[in-house]
Structure 1
Amino acid sequence: MINFSANLSMLFTELPLLDRFDAAKNAGFSAAEIQFPYSESIDALRAKLDETGLQLVLFNVDADDLLQGGEGLAAVPEKRERFKAALTQTVDYIEALQPKAVNVLPGRCMNPRRLDDYLQTFGENLSLAADTFAPFGVSAIFEAINTIDMPGFIIHSGAQMLDWLERLNHPNLLLQVDIYHLSMMNEDPEAFIRLHPETIGHIQFADTPGRGQPGTGNIDFNRLFDTIRNSGYSGWTGAEYRPVGPTLDSLDWLEQFQTKKL
Structure 2
Amino acid sequence: MLNFTANLSLLFTEVELIERFEAASRQGFNAVEIQFPYALDAGTLKQALTAAGQKLVLFNVDADDLLQGGEGLVCVPEKQPLFRQAVAQTLIYAEVLKPVAINVLPGRCLDESRLPEYMKTFKENLYFAADAFAPLGIKTVFEAINTYDMPGFIIHSGAQMLAVLDELDHPDLFLQYDIYHMQMMDEEPARFIADHVDKIGHIQFADCPGRAQPGTGQIDFEPVFSAIEESGYNSWVGAEYKPMGTTLDSLDWFRKLEAKIRR
Structure 1: distance between partners of 2:23 and 2:96: 22
Query: How far apart, CA to CA, are the structure 1 residues paired with 2:132 and 2:192?
Result: 28
The answer to whether the aligner puts 1:133 opposite 2:112 as a matched pair is no
**2:186 maps to what in 1?**
186
SS at match of 1:6: strand
CA distance in 2, matches of 1:202, 1:257: 20
What's 1:164 paired with? 164
SS at match of 1:254: helix
Which runs of no fewer than 5 residues in structure 1 stay unpaired?
none
* Aligned: 1:176 with 2:180: no
SS of the residue 1:135 aligns to = helix
Specify the SS of the correspondent of 1:149: coil
Q: In the TM superposition, what is the alpha-carbon distance from 1:43 to its structure 2 partner?
A: 1.2
Matching residue of 1:119: 119
Equivalent residue, structure 2, for 1:255: 255
> Where does residue 155 of structure 2 map in the other structure?
155
Counterpart in 2 of 1:101? 101
C-alpha distance after superposition, 1:226-248 (max 9, x if no partner): 00110010000000000000100
**CA-to-partner distance for each residue in 1:167-208, whole Å, 9 max, x for gaps?**
000001000000000000011111100100000000000000
Give the total of aligned pairs: 261
Counterparts of 2:246 and 2:160, CA distance in 1: 36
- Deviation sequence 1:101-153 (CA, Å, 0-9, x none): 00000000000000000000000000000000000000000000000000000
TM-score (normalised: structure 2): 0.98
Q: Which has the higher contact order (CA 8 A, sep 6+)?
A: 1
What is the DSSP-based 3-state SS (H/G/I as helix, E as strand, rest coil) of the residue aligned with 1:141? strand
Cα separation, 2, equivalents of 1:17 and 1:50: 15
Aligned to 1:68: 68
1:45 alignment counterpart: 45
Please, what is the CA RMSD of the aligned residues?
0.9
Work out the CA distance in 2 between the residues paired with 1:160 and 1:257.
33
Task: Find the counterpart in structure 1 of residue 36 from structure 2.
Answer: 36
Measured after TM superposition, the shift of residue 260 of structure 1 is 6.7
Q: Does residue 222 of structure 1 match 2:222?
A: yes
Counterparts of 1:91 and 1:112, CA distance in 2: 32
Match of residue 77 from structure 2: 77
Deviations 1:3-33 (A, max 9, x none): 0000000001111001111110000001000
1:43 corresponds to which letter in structure 2? G
Distance 1:156 1:227 in 2: 22
Q: Distance in 2 between matches of 1:58 and 1:177?
A: 13
Specify the SS of the correspondent of 2:38: helix
Q: Which residue of 1 aligns with 2:57?
A: 57
Q: Tell me how far 1:84 sits from its aligned partner.
A: 0.3
The aligned counterpart of 1:203 is: 203
- Partner of 1:46, secondary structure, is helix
Query: Which letter maps to 2:65?
Result: D
Q: Following the alignment from structure 1 to structure 2, what is the Cα–Cα distance between the partners of residues 244 and 40?
A: 27
Please give the secondary structure, in 1, of the residue aligned with 2:126.
Answer: helix
